[in-house]
Amino acid sequence: MKTKKIILLAFLAIFTFLNCKGEELGRCDLPNGLIPYKKEQVYSFIDGTGQTIEVPVIESKWRWLTSRDETERDYYTYRNQIVELDSEPNNLNIYFRLDANGCMTGKDYNEIGIAVTLLDKSFVVGLYVDAEGNFLTDNSTFFHESIEINGKVYHDVIEQNSENNEGVSKQIFYNKTYGILQINRDGESFLSINQKTEETKSSSHTDILNEEFGITSINDVKINTSETKLLRIYAVTGALVYSFSTNFNLKSAYLNKGIYIVETTNYLGEVKREKIVVK
């Protein structure tokens, strides 16, 4: 009799546990290939002072997580990806978090959260992708089929411009092949990918550099704000040193002495370039 009672209690416990577990309301998966960094590999970046930083990937994992609904019984299952690069000697940490939690909220997109800490400064941004892994754009996020950064052309690049609560402007260039290409804070380089510069620059830059100077002061550059969608400034090396989609105030570029190319793009996609010298 005692044995039967134990078996009955055990059966009731199992039944209660299974009943309390609830039902899975949905399962949200993630596309692969959005964060290209591989565990135990080392990647090279350049900070704002031109210093090269080698940073290894210390964490890269996929997980299935659950989230309860309001009943605290039924649940959603969603996939999660964590990637972390860390170089303690150089005080650089790069952290990625990607959650496939869109189906829980009825949204049709997921967010790649990126947090970068270098010395005493930080950069936090969210890039949005659809269920197929395509980057989503808005009035401050642009997609480039190709763009030149630090003298090298990259393809399928997403650019996002934003501002934090302290009024600090932030900008990131990113693609699925290399990850972070460049990060700017207040128009100044914060971190960029370290790759060898192409020996030959783009023909558009080469041609304009061979022309005579038409403008000798950055203050003489006239920007039609009603027609300009995007403003970029390149150094003679081909490095992108300033880019903004609003508040086209060239004085905020804080350019050092040298030769630069000011490039403006209007809402029709037409590009205009002018060469200037900052004395």
pLDDT tens per residue across span 89-138: 889 999 999 988 777 777 778 899 999 999 888 999 999 998 888 999 98
Same domain, 191 and 245: no
Task: Give pLDDT, residue 14.
Answer: 44
Count of domains for the chain = 2
Same domain, 207 and 192: no
- Mean residue pLDDT across the chain: 79
pLDDT at 254 over 70: no
Q: Please indicate, yes or no, if residue 1 is contained in any of the structural domains.
A: no
Cα–Cα dist 10/16, whole Å? 10
Same domain, 150 and 213: no
* Contact in structure between 191 and 114 (CB atoms under 8 Å): no
Cα–Cα dist 267/159, whole Å? 16
Q: Please indicate, yes or no, if residue 169 is contained in any of the structural domains.
A: yes
Q: Please indicate, yes or no, if residue 248 is contained in any of the structural domains.
A: yes
Ramachandran bin of 72, using left for φ above 0, alpha for ψ from -120 to 50, beta for the remaining angles: left
Task: Give pLDDT, residue 164.
Answer: 79
Best CA proximity match to 160, nearest among 112, 106, 95, 103: 112
Task: Give pLDDT, residue 70.
Answer: 65
Instruction: Name the band, by pLDDT with cuts 50, 70 and 90, for residue 253.
Output: low
Higher model confidence: residue 271 or residue 59?
A: 59
Cα–Cα dist 120/63, whole Å? 31
* Contact in structure between 37 and 43 (CB atoms under 8 Å): yes
Task: Give pLDDT, residue 150.
Answer: 81
Q: Please indicate, yes or no, if residue 5 is contained in any of the structural domains.
A: no
Residue range 145-175, pLDDT digits in tens = 888 888 888 999 999 998 877 788 899 999 9
Residue 205 belongs to domain spanning: 200-279
Q: Which residue has the tokens 């659950």?
A: 66
Where is the domain boundary, 177, 197, 217? 197
Where is the domain boundary, 172, 197, 222? 197
Residue range 56-69, pLDDT digits in tens = 999 999 999 988 76
Same domain, 206 and 146: no
Q: Please indicate, yes or no, if residue 8 is contained in any of the structural domains.
A: no
* Contact in structure between 71 and 20 (CB atoms under 8 Å): no
Task: Give pLDDT, residue 231.
Answer: 80
Instruction: Name the band, by pLDDT with cuts 50, 70 and 90, for residue 197.
Output: very low
Q: Please indicate, yes or no, if residue 17 is contained in any of the structural domains.
A: no
Same domain, 192 and 208: no
* Contact in structure between 52 and 45 (CB atoms under 8 Å): yes
Strand order in the sheet with 240-244: 240-244, 228-235, 258-266, 271-278
* Contact in structure between 240 and 150 (CB atoms under 8 Å): yes
Higher model confidence: residue 16 or residue 211?
A: 211
Q: Please indicate, yes or no, if residue 59 is contained in any of the structural domains.
A: yes
Rg (CA), the chain: 25
Residue range 203-252, pLDDT digits in tens = 445 555 555 555 556 666 677 777 787 887 877 666 677 777 666 666 66
Same domain, 43 and 180: yes
Same domain, 91 and 204: no
* Contact in structure between 77 and 27 (CB atoms under 8 Å): yes
Q: Which amino acid is at 60?
A: S
Higher model confidence: residue 257 or residue 210?
A: 257
Where is the domain boundary, 176, 197, 218? 197
Q: Please indicate, yes or no, if residue 155 is contained in any of the structural domains.
A: yes
